[in-house]
């Protein structure tokens, strides 16, 4: 049985590689995507909040870590976003935030297109992910109206 240990090692390696390379399923953004969003996705960093980039099942966004921090560009305006909504500035980017059961959902305010970042609660403080993504958003999504 000289080939048996090699077969076991190969099987374990395939299992480990398959487990580590699972793609993140992303919902379709549902808004307008285009060259601006392509630039956002291409310019996004390899690490966000110390989490490594992950493969996504579609080109609709980027993901990091497990559970995944998810960035999507060209999403629709959140229904709850009103002119009087609180705007939190993080490194020069204005954000509307919504708390869900297991994550915080942040959407840019006052930019040419909406960018949404979903940060699971495991990444507290959740603003760290926004700090890591601020440069990408500032460089690729022009300001239309300042966040106040």
Overall average pLDDT of the 29-55 stretch: 88
DSSP 36-73: HHHHHHHHS-SEETTEEEE-BSSTT-EEETTTTEEEEE
For residue 2, the model assigns a pLDDT of 53
pLDDT of 15 over the 90 cut: no
- The residue with tokens 């793609």 is 23
Task: Count H helices and E strands in the chain, helices first.
Answer: 3, 8
pLDDT tens digits along 110-147: 999 999 999 999 999 999 999 999 999 999 999 999 88
For residue 25, the model assigns a pLDDT of 73
For residue 22, the model assigns a pLDDT of 76
pLDDT tens digits along 55-97: 998 778 999 999 999 999 999 999 999 999 999 999 999 999 9
Distance CA 64, CA 136 (A): 15
DSSP 104-131: EEEEESSBSSEEEEEEEGGGSSTHHHHH
For residue 17, the model assigns a pLDDT of 36
**Which residues, at least 6 apart from 73, have a Cβ–Cβ distance to it below 8 Å?**
29, 33, 36, 37, 40, 41, 61, 113, 114, 115, 116, 141
């Amino acid at each position: 049985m000289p080939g048996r240990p090699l077969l076991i090692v190969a099987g374990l390696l395939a299992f480990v590689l398959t487990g580590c390379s699972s793609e993140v399923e992303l919902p379709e953004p549902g808004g307008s995507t285009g060259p601006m969003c392509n630039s956002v996705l291409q310019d996004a960093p390899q690490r966000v909040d110390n989490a490594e980039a992950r493969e996504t099942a579609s080109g609709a966004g980027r993901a990091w870590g497990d559970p995944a921090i998810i960035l999507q560009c060209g999403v629709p305006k959140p229904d709850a976003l009103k002119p009087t909504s609180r705007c939190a500035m993080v490194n020069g980017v204005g954000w509307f935030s919504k708390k869900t059961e297991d994550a915080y959902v942040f959407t840019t305010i006052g930019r040419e297109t909406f960018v949404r970042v979903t940060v699971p609660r495991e990444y507290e403080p959740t603003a760290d992910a926004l700090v890591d993504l601020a440069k990408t958003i500032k460089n690729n999504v022009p300001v239309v109206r300042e966040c106040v």
